[in-house]
Amino acid sequence: MGRLLALTLAYLAYLLATAIGSERQQHRVQHGPCSYTFILPEVEHCHPLKDFQVTNTLQRDSPPEAVPDPSQSKPGKAQKERPSWQERKLESLESAMENNTQWLQKLENFIQENVRSGMEEMKRTAVHTQTAAMLEMGTNLLSQSAEQTRKLTDVETQVLNQTSRLEIQLLEYSLFTNRLEKHILLQTQEISRLSDKNSFLEERLLALEARYGRELQGLESEKQQLQELLERQSRLVSQLQGELGSSTLNSTLLQRQQAVLADTVQQLLAMVNHCNEISNVPKEEPLSFRDCAEIFRSGVTESGLYSIRLPNSTQTVKVFCDMKTRGGGWTVLQHRINGSVDFHRGWKDYKMGFGETSGEHWLGNDIIHKLTSSQEYSLHVQLKDREGNEAFSHYDRFYIDGEDNNYSLHAEGFGGSAGRTSSLTHTGTQFSTKDRDNDRCTCKCAQLASGGWWFEACGPSNLNGIYYPASSSVVRYNGIKWYYWKGPNLMATMTTMMVRPTHF
């Protein structure tokens, strides 16, 4: 507190000295870390008291002794009239007190005015300084804000560009993923189809192995019997030769026996050489019939295998004749019953024919052309689904062209219970296989739908598609199809195509 009061007095003294001028005398007193400055009043313009004397004596409280005035004749009376030194001293002190009091009041007023003006000046200076600092700070803040805004705009632009690039990359990845999924789906379907086909081929191979195994066992047994017979005959020949050597008298008889034995040996050798060709061949019909209708007219009414001679040709072929359906006399061109024969074949196989004539088979496009172009034939298509429902489609006029015109189809006069509309393609449609594409579609229907058929733009029918068992519940595009009977959901278990002369 004392230090603060000293600083205040020093500041007031400084202001007073500044206001009064430099002609005032100052007196500085150092007291420890604090210094005190006193401004002395001017004495040049002050008149000294009349009785003021400068002495070299020390100041004391009692006044100096009075010097007797010789002019005064009556000392007692003079002392009574002159004031005492105490009174003069008291008056002098009162006068000095008054002067000091007035001077202090003036000094106080002056100090207050100077302090007030100094404080106001300091406030104005502080306000101006703070205002300038705040303006400068505001300018800096605005500059920094603008710079930060520009940087944020650049960052936002970069983020938007990066986001756009990421969205484009994501879209490309999505499209690539979709294409990959479609490709995988197609590959999966193809694998499934090949797996089914492989299973079918394995079953067929096992069946063939079992069948030929039984035939080989039979042939081995027959061969063993023939070898035993040959050994017996050899022993008999040896015995006869011995008897011939021992008996020369009966030479004529021995010569006859030798000739018989030689014939027997030749027959046995011929049997051994042809033992692998032994088969149960049914009794052949006369070769003068050109189709099953003529065989039926000859009095044969049992369905089975028969030989016919193609018109205008010496070629004979084995065919299956249906003598029961709708009056009989039908020559079978195609038959599917159990899927034991693979119908996904090339052009040459469909041209020459394949399969077992008594079971699943395709008669051959060359044979069908020669047969149906010799006279007018009607076509009968017999169908059966896995529920046992049967239906048929009948065409009053049917024939196909030769190979030079790709076995083009001609069918007219549709009727029957297998749909209100014909499922066969239009007249003039060419035959296609997996290795010869003659359809009107860029998709190669024979490879897509499987089998050889009269595909136009894949079309509503294909009786030579893959045979799927009745237990299968999946509808496949490459299966047997006759669209206008059961639509795409047909699961056929039996199909037959057969022809008969129109005027039967």
pTM (global) more than 0.75: no
- Phi, psi at 384, each rounded to 5°: -150, 135
Top-ranked range on mean pLDDT: pick from 24-33, 167-176, 250-259 = 167-176
With contact defined as beta carbons under 8 Å apart, do 353 and 362 qualify? yes
With contact defined as beta carbons under 8 Å apart, do 308 and 292 qualify? yes
SS3 call for 94: helix
SS3 call for 172: helix
Can you give the pLDDT at residue 318? 94
Average pLDDT, stretch 158-174?
A: 88
With contact defined as beta carbons under 8 Å apart, do 380 and 366 qualify? no
SS3 call for 36: strand
Q: Where are the domains of the chain?
A: 292-501
pLDDT in tens, 304-333: 999 999 888 888 999 999 999 999 999 999
With contact defined as beta carbons under 8 Å apart, do 366 and 405 qualify? no
pLDDT in tens, 397-456: 999 999 999 999 999 999 999 988 899 988 999 999 999 999 888 888 888 888 999 998
CA angle 277, 280, 282 (to 5 degrees): 125
Compute the distance between CA of residue 397 and CA of residue 410 in angstroms, rounded to an integer: 8
| Encoded tokens for 343 | 């119908």
pLDDT in tens, 262-286: 666 666 666 666 564 554 444 444 4
User: How, if at all, do strands 354-355 and 316-322 pair?
Assistant: unpaired
Compute the distance between CA of residue 454 and CA of residue 422 in angstroms, rounded to an integer: 13
Evaluate whether the domain defined by 292-501 bears CATH number 3.90.215.10: yes
Q: How confident is the model at residue 32 (pLDDT cuts 50, 70, 90)?
A: low
Compute the distance between CA of residue 365 and CA of residue 386 in angstroms, rounded to an integer: 29
User: Greater confidence, 86 or 376?
Assistant: 376
Residue listed under structure tokens 């076995």: 407
pLDDT over 50 (residue 378): yes
Can you give the pLDDT at residue 247? 60
Q: Which residues pair with 308 in a beta bridge?
A: 317
User: Greater confidence, 417 or 94?
Assistant: 417
Instruction: Give the single-character DSSP code of 171.
Output: H
pLDDT over 60 (residue 498): yes
pLDDT in tens, 97-148: 888 888 888 888 888 888 788 788 888 888 888 888 888 888 888 888 888 8
Compute the distance between CA of residue 380 and CA of residue 497 in angstroms, rounded to an integer: 6
Top-ranked range on mean pLDDT: pick from 60-64, 100-104, 223-227, 395-399 = 395-399
Can you give the pLDDT at residue 279? 47
Instruction: Give the single-character DSSP code of 471.
Output: T
Query: How much helix, strand and coil, in percent to the nearest 5, is found in the chain?
Result: 50, 15, 35
pLDDT over 70 (residue 245): no
- Phi, psi at 286, each rounded to 5°: -60, 145
